[in-house]
C-alpha cells in the first residue's frame, strides 16, 4: 500500500478584531477632547495667538495704523540700549525685592500665629482676605489719600513719633517703596490663606514625635514646618515674582500718564510706548523680553526646587 499525501491547502486565518477595550479607550479620548475643545480653543485664541502676534510685532515697525514694515532685531537692540527702559527694568526689580520677601515672611508669621486663634480664626482670615477681593483701583484711590502729604493720617502718625514723613509720590527715593507698601497690604491676605492651608496639612503626630525627642521650637520650625510647607513657598514665590513684574494699576492711578522715570516699571513702559507713542513694535519687543525674563526666572526656581522642596508621599 502507498501512502497518499493530502494536497488540501491549510485554512486561511484572519486577524482578530481589535479588542473592545482599545476601541473604548479611543472613544473616551475623543469624548475628552470634545469636552476640552472650548478651553483649548480659548487658549489658542486668547493666549497662544496674541503671543505669536506679539513676537511678529516685535520684529516689525507698526504704529497701529497702515501697513507693517520689517525691522528685524532693531527693536530688541533699541530695548537693550535705551536708558529709560533700562531704568524701568531696575525699578521693577527693586519693587520685586521690596515686595516679595517681606510679604511672604509677614504672611507666614501671621498664618503661624493664626493657627492658635481658635474660634477667631475665621474672622481673622476674612479680615485679612478682604483687600484681596477689593478692586486695585479702589485700593489705590484709598492709598492715594493716605500718601497725600497735606491730609495724610499716615504722615501725621509718623510725625507724632518724631519721624519725618516723606513725600511718598514726589520723592524719587520713596515712589517704588510706596508701591510696595500698597501691594503688600492688598496681597497679604491671599498668602496668609495659602500658608494656613499648608500649615493645617501638617500631621500633628510629627510635632508630637519631635516633642518626645526633646526638639525645641526652633528645631521644629526648621526641621518640620518649613520643609513640609516648602511646596507652598515655591508656589507663592513663583506667582509673587510674576505678579510683581507686572505692576501697572497702582502707578496709573497714582501718577496717571505723567509718571516720573523713578516711578516707571516695565509694564507701565509698555503701555506708554504702545498707546502714547504708538510704537507697537518696540512695545512688543519689551513685552517679549519681559516674557522671556519671567520664563527664565520660573525655570530657575523650578530647577532649584529639587534641593529644598520636599513633597510628602
- The answer to whether residue 157 is domain-embedded is yes
What percent of the chain clears pLDDT 70, i.e. is strictly above it?
A: 92
Look at residue 18 in the predicted model and tell me its pLDDT. 54
- The answer to whether residue 232 is domain-embedded is yes
Residue 23 C-alpha cell reads as 476601541
- The answer to whether residue 10 is domain-embedded is no
Question: Which has the closest alpha carbon to 148: 174, 179, 169?
Answer: 169
User: What confidence category does residue 127 fall into, taking pLDDT thresholds of 50, 70 and 90?
Assistant: confident
pLDDT in tens, 2-61: 555 555 555 555 555 555 566 777 778 888 888 888 888 988 888 888 889 999 999 999
- The answer to whether residue 218 is domain-embedded is yes
> Domain count of the chain?
1
Q: How many other CB atoms are found less than 10 A from the CB of residue 57?
A: 24
Angle between helices 280-308 and 49-58 (to 10 degrees): 120
- The answer to whether residue 123 is domain-embedded is yes
Which CATH number fits the domain that encloses residue 92? Answer: 1.10.3720.10
Look at residue 289 in the predicted model and tell me its pLDDT. 95
Look at residue 1 in the predicted model and tell me its pLDDT. 45
Residue 189 C-alpha cell reads as 491676605
- The answer to whether residue 17 is domain-embedded is no
Amino acid at each position: 500500500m502507498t501512502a497518499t499525501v493530502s494536497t488540501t491547502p491549510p485554512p486561511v486565518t484572519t486577524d482578530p478584531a481589535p479588542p473592545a477595550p482599545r476601541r473604548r479607550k479611543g472613544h473616551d479620548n475623543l469624548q475628552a477632547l470634545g469636552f476640552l475643545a472650548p478651553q483649548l480653543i480659548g487658549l489658542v485664541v486668547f493666549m497662544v495667538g496674541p503671543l505669536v502676534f506679539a513676537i511678529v510685532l516685535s520684529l516689525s515697525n507698526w504704529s497701529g495704523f497702515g501697513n507693517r514694515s520689517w525691522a528685524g532685531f532693531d527693536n530688541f537692540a533699541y530695548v537693550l540700549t535705551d536708558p529709560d527702559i533700562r531704568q524701568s527694568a531696575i525699578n521693577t526689580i527693586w519693587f520685586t525685592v521690596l515686595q516679595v520677601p517681606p510679604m511672604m515672611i509677614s504672611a507666614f508669621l501671621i498664618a503661624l500665629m493664626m493657627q492658635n486663634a481658635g474660634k477667631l480664626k475665621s474672622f481673622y482670615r476674612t479680615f485679612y482676605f478682604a483687600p484681596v477681593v477689593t478692586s486695585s483701583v479702589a485700593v489705590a484711590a484709598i492709598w492715594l489719600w493716605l500718601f497725600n502729604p497735606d491730609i495724610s493720617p499716615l504722615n501725621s502718625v509718623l510725625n507724632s513719633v518724631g519721624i519725618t514723613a516723606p513725600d511718598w509720590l514726589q520723592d524719587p527715593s520713596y515712589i517704588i517703596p510706596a508701591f510696595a507698601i500698597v501691594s503688600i497690604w492688598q496681597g497679604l491676605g491671599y498668602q496668609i490663606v495659602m500658608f494656613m492651608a499648608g500649615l493645617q496639612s501638617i500631621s500633628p503626630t510629627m510635632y508630637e514625635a519631635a516633642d518626645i525627642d526633646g526638639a525645641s521650637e526652633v528645631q521644629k520650625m526648621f526641621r518640620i514646618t518649613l520643609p513640609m510647607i516648602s511646596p507652598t513657598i515655591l508656589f507663592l514665590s513663583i506667582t509673587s515674582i510674576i505678579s510683581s513684574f507686572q505692576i501697572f494699576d497702582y502707578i496709573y492711578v497714582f501718577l496717571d500718564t505723567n509718571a516720573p522715570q523713578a516711578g516707571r516699571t516695565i509694564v507701565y513702559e509698555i503701555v506708554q510706548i504702545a498707546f502714547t507713542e504708538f510704537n507697537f513694535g518696540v512695545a512688543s519687543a519689551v513685552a517679549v523680553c519681559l516674557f522671556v525674563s519671567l520664563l527664565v526666572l520660573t525655570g530657575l526656581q523650578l530647577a532649584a526646587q529639587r534641593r529644598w522642596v520636599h513633597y510628602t508621599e
